[in-house]
DNA sequence: ACCTGAACACCGTTCAAGT
DNA sequence: ACCTGAACACCGTTCAAGT
């Protein structure tokens, strides 16, 4: 395994274990079995290392969305599975999820990272478009509908993780939120919601 | 003006100008006209200073939501104004917004901060409940519906800021997203959407 | 080509001392 | 009670040197 791959792997592990502040070049070096500035031989600096990691993760996400599109099931089932996998990713890899979707420094990057992020959203939008064609989602502009779904699920994941939706009376889970959203979005409510 | 207030004000300014990493105690001290460790006389450490700032901001947000509830207009108009103000806050004070809703270290805090965050969401949920009573929103459980709305708007703000919803074909604005969500949520679609 | 170790500037935090 | 300045450990980054 190449050193650069080991460095990315170490960074991902540290990120999920202790958040972005735990990803110090010294810790990355130690976990990877190299010195604290060996990473500079593979990435221009710490920020660039994190950007490379984010790019890789966005590519995985796009591939996962694409794979759901290939399954031989109803379009709405594909979309539900994709949404489920999306929220599961946020739960399993909170550090990486935060890096991809809520890190302002990472968000500034153009080029490969931005391209990979766009590709992820485009792959997701394809699933939405397919549902619309099948009449399972309303015939509004696809980018708007896909954006709303993407944003809502992200918001649910983010707020669930931060506990910002708790009240005295109750709170909301990501799964419930997605179910409610799909329910209100269904053109024929009684048919789609079992 | 008390030193502790000046410190919080300086921290807020630095936060919006350069993100959380720009809020160093040395910079806060300099902007406040005190030494780099005077903050320790008012807050136990840097994290606690940021938590105090977040608490203050959540209280402002809760007060703003409450104020919209007092206006003499239709319930749905109150809600729309509140959502509009919410997204405007995210645009005007990106650093503070990120601190309140997407900072994992801040999210861990219990006590006053957690209480203030819950109070903000509760105040928002009241506006949603009023819309439901007036028949302007569906009669599903209020925490679920309020949570979905809160999460969706947060997701739209967050993804718009990070540019994660762009595609080759188009992208989505917060305002459009809110409008679309309220449109699909309206029980009598034709009536509510003008 | 890839890596190491020393060095530098910066930061959070602690501590002794000042009014 | 409130503040300051020195000091310490840690971090990103640079640089000269090693294979």
Indicate whether A25 belongs to any domain.
yes
B79 plus B159 within the same structural domain: yes
B167 plus B73 within the same structural domain: yes
B22 plus B58 within the same structural domain: no
CA atoms within 13 A on the CB side of A81: 16
For A69-93, what is each residue's pLDDT tens digit?
Answer: 999 999 999 999 999 999 999 999 9
Report the pLDDT value the prediction gives residue A56, as an integer from 0 to 100: 96
A67 plus A29 within the same structural domain: no
B114 plus B64 within the same structural domain: yes
For A97-138, what is each residue's pLDDT tens digit?
Answer: 999 999 999 999 999 999 999 999 999 999 999 999 999 999
In whole angstroms, what is the distance from residue A169 CA to residue B146 CA? 12
- b/e map B139-175, b = 16+ CB within 10 Å: eeebbbbbbbbbbbbbbbbbbbbbbbbbbeeebbebe
Chain B partners of A150 at a C-beta cutoff of 8 Å? 155, 159, 164-165
A18 plus A96 within the same structural domain: no
Considering only alpha carbons, which residue of chain B is nearest residue A117?
Answer: B164
Closest C1' nucleotide to B26's CA: C11
Indicate whether B177 belongs to any domain.
yes
A38 plus A54 within the same structural domain: no
Protein contacts on strand C: list nucleotides below 7 Å from a Cβ: 2-6, 10-15
For B172-192, what is each residue's pLDDT tens digit?
Answer: 889 999 999 999 998 764 444
In whole angstroms, what is the distance from residue B117 CA to residue A191 CA? 38
Indicate whether B37 belongs to any domain.
yes
Of A94, A145, A154, the CB nearest to B155: A154
Average pLDDT over every residue of B34-58: 96
B22 plus B54 within the same structural domain: no
In whole angstroms, what is the distance from residue B160 CA to residue A32 CA? 35
In whole angstroms, what is the distance from residue A100 CA to residue A123 CA? 16
- Concatenated DSSP letters of A135-158: TSS--S-HHHHHHHHHHHHHHHHH
Indicate whether A191 belongs to any domain.
no
Tell me, in Å, how far CA of B10 is from C1' of C11? 18
Q: How far is B90 from chain A (nearest CA, A)?
A: 13
Considering only alpha carbons, which residue of chain B is nearest residue A116?
Answer: B164
Q: Which CATH number characterizes residue B26's domain?
A: 1.10.10
B36 plus B79 within the same structural domain: no
Beta carbons within 8 Å of A190's beta carbon, 6+ residues apart: none
In whole angstroms, what is the distance from residue A64 CA to residue A126 CA? 13
- Concatenated DSSP letters of B129-179: HHHHHTTSS--S-HHHHHHHHHHHHHHHHHHHHHTTT--SS----HHHHHH
**Strand ranges in A33-191 using DSSP code E only, listed in sequence order:** none
Residue A11 belongs to domain spanning: 1-43
Q: How many domains does chain B have?
A: 2
Contact B111, A174 (CB under 8 A): no
Q: Is the CB of B148 under 7 A from strand D?
A: no
Contact A28, A20 (CB under 8 A): no
Q: What is the mean pLDDT of chain B?
A: 92
Indicate whether B83 belongs to any domain.
yes
Q: Which CATH number characterizes residue B136's domain?
A: 1.10.357.10
Q: How far is B69 from chain A (nearest CA, A)?
A: 18
In whole angstroms, what is the distance from residue A105 CA to residue A127 CA? 29
A170, two tokens: 């109750």
pLDDT at B54 over 90: yes
Average pLDDT over every residue of A11-34: 96
Indicate whether B191 belongs to any domain.
no
pTM: 0.92
DSSP B36: T
Indicate whether A170 belongs to any domain.
yes
A80 plus A170 within the same structural domain: yes
Closest C1' nucleotide to A33's CA: C3
Of B121, B144, B167, the CB nearest to A125: B167
In whole angstroms, what is the distance from residue B81 CA to residue A182 CA? 25
Q: Do B121 and A165 touch (CB under 8 A)?
A: yes
Contact A185, A131 (CB under 8 A): no
In whole angstroms, what is the distance from residue A38 CA to residue A43 CA? 9
Q: Do B158 and A162 touch (CB under 8 A)?
A: no
A14 plus A90 within the same structural domain: no
B30 plus B59 within the same structural domain: no
Helix ranges, chain B (H): 3-18, 25-32, 46-70, 75-92, 94-102, 104-107, 112-133, 142-162, 174-185, 189-192
Average pLDDT over every residue of B18-34: 96
Q: Is the CB of A24 under 7 A from strand D?
A: yes
Indicate whether B16 belongs to any domain.
yes
Protein contacts on strand D: list nucleotides below 7 Å from a Cβ: 2-6, 10-15
Q: Do A150 and B159 touch (CB under 8 A)?
A: yes
């Amino acid at each position: 395994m190449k050193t650069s791959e080991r460095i990315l792997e170490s960074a991902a592990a540290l990120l999920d274990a202790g958040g972005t502040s735990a990803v110090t070049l010294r810790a990355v070096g130690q976990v990877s079995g190299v010195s604290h500035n060996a990473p500079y031989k593979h990435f221009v600096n710490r920020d660039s290392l994190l950007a490379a990691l984010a790019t890789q993760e966005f590519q995985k996400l796009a591939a996962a969305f694409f794979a759901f599109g290939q399954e031989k099931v109803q379009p709405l089932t594909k979309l539900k599975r994709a949404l489920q996998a999306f929220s599961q990713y946020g739960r399993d890899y909170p550090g990486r999820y935060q890096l991809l979707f809520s890190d302002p420094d990472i968000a500034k990057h153009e080029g490969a990272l931005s391209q990979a992020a766009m590709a992820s959203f485009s792959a997701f939008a394809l699933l939405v478009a397919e549902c619309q064609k099948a009449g399972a989602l309303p015939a509004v502009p696809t980018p708007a509908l896909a954006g709303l779904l993407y944003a809502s699920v992200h918001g649910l994941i983010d707020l669930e993780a931060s506990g910002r939706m708790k009240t005295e009376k109750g709170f909301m889970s990501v799964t419930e939120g997605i179910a409610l959203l799909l329910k209100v979005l269904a053109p024929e409510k009684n048919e789609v919601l079992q």
